[in-house]
Amino acid sequence: MKLRKIILAGLAILTLASCQKDPEPFMTLSSKKVSVAAEGGSLSFDLSANVYYRVLVDDTWMSITDKTEAGDITTFNLTIAPNSETLPREGVIRFIGDGVTPLKLTVNQSGIVPRGVNPSSITVEPESTSAKFTVLGDKAWTASSSNPEFNLSATSGVGEMEVNVSFPANEGYTEKTATINVTIAGENYTVSITQKALGKPQGILADWALNTIKATTSEFFADATLQTTPGTGGKYIPASTGNGKIEYYACERPSEYVLKSGYNCKRLVGGNGDPYVEGTIVGDYWYITGEYVREIPDGTAIDFYFVTKFGTYVSNYWMVEYLDGDTWKPALPTSTITETATVSGATGEPLATPYSAEITYNVAGTFDASNNGAYIAVQGTFTTSVPMNAIKLRFSPSGRVGFKDGKYIDVINQSNQSRFSAQHPSNPDGTAVKEYNEHVTLKFSEK
């Protein structure tokens, strides 16, 4: 009986054992996708598995540094290298197990956010009044300008921002610069701004096309009223090109001069547009001004040109000068001469005291075929030594001896005449060239 029970019990145990199955193979991940910042770092994840498996890391910028096992669960520690590129990247870790579906963990890493400024160097034209740059990154920043004329639209912010820089136009001949200092998360960056200087002044400063503007000259310069007080009398010839004036300054008429009626100082205009004055004496001068739109720098060379003709009872020796700052300087090389006279032009009688004086001049007249004043060209180039807003010439008689007869100038009459002329300079033999398209010109030299 006991033997039967033992046999039955054994059969029951065998039956129970034959009913149990092996566990199902499995492999699962705690996460299938993770995201990390561009700076990289470390992260961990769990793999649960009851099968043998292999781990494959596809990319070198991530690596499994260690793992911890607890039963079927393995905790992996993953290290991610920094991404030095602006583009994001994706990596994969694969898990291949026996008898189970392979798994993968996808790692998405952001690209770096560029940090700094763009551009770092800016060059603008003299007339430009603004520029812009961009602060890059996603951090807090501050900015400042080394030049107070260059103003920033923003001096601080967080993250990427476009900054406008405003400044006045450069009206000088020296370039302007500014350094914009930008600090982002403790790191310093700079934007260099260069505003170009004005180029060398070019072209016509002022020009008077005498024959063409004779109607204007007659309106503005001719004067039926004799000037009796010093000055220009408010009469002038406006430039036909550029901005300028031609005026005539008449000095005080000394008592030593005999005044012929009607010739104290008379402004007239010839039929071909020549402005001229009857009654010119020492102390009078023609005054030519050319104005520029901005300051003319020191070291600027100026070309000047005009045609003139002297009356028979005016000095044959003249001086053309330019105003250099506050100083009148010869516009052409000068010479000196001792002139003498023994006869009065007013009376034709011998002078009580013969006249003799050394005079300085840089323009001398010549005679035409009729033994009168010929048309001569006065031209040259001078260079300024100080900055100025206008170029000014002065053209004045230097002596007291009559051009034609050598008598002492002590009378004011019609033959005390000086002019600018639209006629071409006379031929070498003194004959006039009957062409009337000459100009009075001030221009920036191209040399």
Provide the pLDDT for residue 284. Answer: 96
Among residues 195, 229, 246, the one where a domain terminates is 195
Provide the pLDDT for residue 8. Answer: 47
Residue 20 lies in a domain: no
Provide the pLDDT for residue 156. Answer: 97
125 and 256 belong to one structural domain: no
Report the candidate in 403, 366, 392, 374 with the shortest Cα–Cα distance to residue 280. Answer: 403
52 and 90 belong to one structural domain: yes
* pLDDT exceeds 90 at position 113: no
Q: Which domain holds residue 151?
A: 116-195
* pLDDT exceeds 70 at position 414: yes
Residue 110's pLDDT band (cuts 50, 70, 90): very high
234 and 276 belong to one structural domain: yes
373 and 289 belong to one structural domain: yes
Provide the pLDDT for residue 1. Answer: 44
Instruction: Convert the pLDDT of each residue in 328-384 to its tens digit.
Output: 999 999 999 999 999 999 999 999 999 999 999 999 999 998 889 999 999 999 999
Q: Total domain count for the chain?
A: 3
CATH of the domain at 422: 2.60.120
Residue 7 lies in a domain: no
Residue 19's pLDDT band (cuts 50, 70, 90): low
For residues 345 and 338, what is the distance between their CA atoms, to the nearest angstrom? 19
Residue 140 lies in a domain: yes
Residue 255's pLDDT band (cuts 50, 70, 90): confident
Residue 367 lies in a domain: yes
Half-sphere exposure of 137 (CA within 13 A, CB side): 18
3-state secondary structure 315-368: ECEEEEEEEECCEEEECCCCEEEEEEEEEECCCCCEEEEEEEEEEEECEECCEC
The mean predicted confidence, pLDDT, of the chain is 92
Residue 421 lies in a domain: yes
Instruction: Convert the pLDDT of each residue in 125-161 to its tens digit.
Output: 999 999 999 999 989 999 999 999 999 999 999 999 9
Phi, psi of 330 (to 5 degrees): -60, 135
Residue 17 lies in a domain: no
* pLDDT exceeds 90 at position 14: no
Q: What is the mean pLDDT of residues 273-281?
A: 96
Paired tokens of 234: 């408010």
189 and 218 belong to one structural domain: no
Q: What is the mean pLDDT of residues 176-199?
A: 95
Half-sphere exposure of 121 (CA within 13 A, CB side): 0
Q: What is the mean pLDDT of residues 220-242?
A: 88
* pLDDT exceeds 80 at position 282: yes
pTM: 0.69
152 and 217 belong to one structural domain: no
* pLDDT exceeds 80 at position 16: no
78 and 125 belong to one structural domain: no
187 and 224 belong to one structural domain: no
Residue 15 lies in a domain: no
Provide the pLDDT for residue 40. Answer: 92
Among residues 89, 109, 129, the one where a domain terminates is 109
224 and 362 belong to one structural domain: yes
99 and 137 belong to one structural domain: no
Among residues 109, 130, 153, the one where a domain terminates is 109
Q: How far is CA 160 from CA 109, 173, 187, in A?
A: 21, 36, 15
97 and 124 belong to one structural domain: no
CATH of the domain at 95: 2.60.40.10
120 and 105 belong to one structural domain: no
Residue 20's pLDDT band (cuts 50, 70, 90): low
Provide the pLDDT for residue 261. Answer: 76
Among 8-12, 37-41, 314-318, 401-405, which is the least confidently predicted range? Answer: 8-12
Residue 269 lies in a domain: yes
Provide the pLDDT for residue 49. Answer: 95
